[in-house]
A and B are shown apart, each in its own frame.
Chain A
Amino acid sequence: MTLPVLIVIFLLSAQALSAAQDKESYPLTVQLRADAGWYGSIPSAFHEDPLPLRSHFMVNISAYPVVFTLFDSVGLAAGFSFSSVTESLAYGTSIWRPFFALGPILDVTIPLQDRLAVTISAMYSRSVYAKTSDYSDVWRLALIGEWELLSVEQSKHRLALNIPVQLDVRPDYFSVSITVGLRWRYVVAIKEKGEKQYEALN
């Protein structure tokens, strides 16, 4: 499936869910997530690479204009994500190329304890090797441990420490990554229930 078709399907579904949220007067929340860390490319046999794993450095930035609560405080966030991965560490005469990736992302956050939550994230992206403009499709699945750092009663802001463990699936090889970052949520709409109060995802 081509990228434009996927983006259209993604945006339509996000719009539909957003409309459902408005109907039930849930709070409108936006979210930003940024993380950075180690990225490991796993060469396939046909690459005949001298190493079983190639180490890169990765930075991810994700913006979620659509965030809402489904049930039992389970949160759903939809947006776009951008990743930049540096070239690998050189090993002898071989090195793996740097690339960028951009695409839609969908997160489901499940609260575990007061401050602890886990997010399951899926992303489709078009990745482009820097300098060669050679592109590839990448599916990313992530399991993100979240620890609430800042959660003040009545506050519109929520800040959480993130530790994402990610798997990238390409047609020609797999990659894994472990990063550390922050997730910031901001409540922009307020649900009225007698007296004014804020609601946010947990």
Chain B
Amino acid sequence: MKRLTRFLQLLPLFLMVISFSACELVMPKPEKPTIHALYIALDYKNTDQLNDLNGTLIDARRMATAINKRGETQGVRVYTTMMIQEGSAANIPEGSSPAYKLYPTRSEIIARITEIGTQMKENDIFLFYYSGHGALEVDNSGLGGLVAAKTSADAPNGYEFLTINDLQGTVSILPGRKLIIIDACNSGQFISKYPREKEDREIPMIMEQYDPNTFYLIAVAAEQLSWETAAGGIFTNHVLDALGWVRTGTTTIAIESYGTKLIEDSYILQVTGNIPTHSIAPSQDGSAIKVNDIYSLIPKERISSGGILNYQDAQTGKGPKDMVLFDKNW
């Protein structure tokens, strides 16, 4: 009995010592991450086969500005690449021109993601933002996904798709952590299933699609439509609000690209709205802004259009893991 009593007295102490020897406080601090952001936006005004979208370009530019400004206030370096399709057919760059590399066709998007990956380290963050049309992809048919830009003015099809496999396959092999933000119809289909159950983990297809280092902020469920106004996408507006964006004033910002290392490109972005200096984002919790906290500030929307009530429910990945997007303590 005495031995049992002594064992019970010592057991918690023993477990506590074992536990804390492996915890966050004693492990070496990871290197400060850099954010590598890719923004893609299309207005589809160069094709007759799709409805024009009027808020997408504004969304991408405001998001890029907000992430850069938050990077400044949180002391995090941000590299920015913007792939924009804007305006009429005359604005399609020549396939061999340098500008074509930033024109968001399916193949150029994949190429840019892969190139950005070569500049990333193990602790870095890849941020993918897309604002444009989306379509439900049926049974990995390749018909559906994100609607990329038409390849040339005389292309037989008005557009091509960046499929679920295209995006997941390209992003999952990048080092570091990845955040996928999509403001498009049916975008919930891009969230891979979290293999919670043992049976799920025995299915190769589920495990191939699941990347534990990819996190999501997605506008709608797979079967839902995403809505915009002239002032931008409803979902993107909520994400911006969570980052502390205010709609008054003007921001002019020079964004940092990779220079001669990749595509020599530099932008001066000028947008309406700003993140006030020294402001604290509503999503900030202590020193950090996490994906979970941004997601929790996005309300479920009920939008009435043509007498039909549409549901717009933002989505994020399941499971226990979350990603820190900014942290002053890095």
Contact = CB atoms under 8 A, between A and B. Distances in A.
Contacts, number: 132
Interface string B305-330: 00000000000101111111101011
Contact of B11 (A52, A54, A112, A165): A165
B249 interface: no
B181 to A, nearest CB: 16
A90 B293 contact: no
- A94, A99, A145: most-surrounded residue (chain B CB, <10 A): A94
B322 A178 contact: no
Contacts of A41: 320
Contact of A89 (B25, B295, B319): B25
A40 B21 CA distance: 12
Nearest to B324: A93
A173 B212 CA distance: 14
Given A132-B295, A176-B15, A94 B323 contact: yes
A131 B293 contact: yes
B79 to A, nearest CB: 16
B73 interface: no
B118 interface: no
A136 B321 CA distance: 14
Interface size class of B (residues with CB under 8 A): 35 or more
A139 to B, nearest CB: 14
Interface string A170-202: 011100101000000000000000000000000
Interface stretch (B47-55, B194-202, B250-258, B274-282): B194-202
B320 A93 contact: no
A97 B321 contact: yes
B22 A93 contact: no
A132 B318 contact: yes
B177 A134 contact: no
Contacts of B123: 92-93
Interface in B154-178: 176-177
Contact of A97 (B9, B201, B322): B322
Contacts of B125: 93
A57 to B, nearest CB: 12
Contacts of A47: 212, 319-321
A88 interface: yes
A91 interface: yes
A51 B201 contact: no
Given A41-B320, A96-B322, A178-B12, A51 B296 contact: no
A143 B23 CA distance: 23
B23 A92 contact: no
A55 interface: yes
A112 B319 CA distance: 41
Interface in A88-146: 88-97, 99, 112-113, 116, 118, 129, 131-132, 134, 136, 143, 145
Contact of B330 (A40, A87, A92, A178): A92
B16 interface: yes
Contacts of B22: 51-53
A22 interface: no
Contacts of B11: 143, 145, 165
A77 interface: no
A172 B319 contact: yes
Given A93-B125, A131-B295, A171-B196, A40 B323 contact: no
A112 to B, nearest CB: 6
Given A93-B123, A94-B323, A176-B19, A48 B12 contact: no
Contact of B24 (A90, A97, A171, A178): A90
B99 to A, nearest CB: 33
Interface in B217-262: none
A47 B16 CA distance: 24
B33 interface: yes
Given A112-B1, A113-B1, A132-B292, 17 more contacts: A46-B207, A46-B210, A53-B19, A89-B24, A90-B327, A94-B323, A95-B290, A95-B322, A97-B321, A113-B5, A116-B5, A131-B292, A134-B318, A145-B9, A173-B320, A178-B15, A178-B19
The 5 closest A-B pairs by CB, nearest first: A92-B30, A131-B296, A89-B24, A134-B318, A55-B23
30 contacts: A41-B320, A46-B195, A47-B320, A50-B30, A53-B22, A87-B290, A91-B24, A92-B33, A92-B324, A93-B30, A93-B125, A93-B176, A94-B321, A95-B322, A97-B322, A99-B320, A113-B5, A131-B292, A132-B295, A134-B194, A134-B318, A145-B8, A165-B15, A171-B196, A172-B195, A172-B319, A172-B320, A178-B12, A178-B15, A178-B19
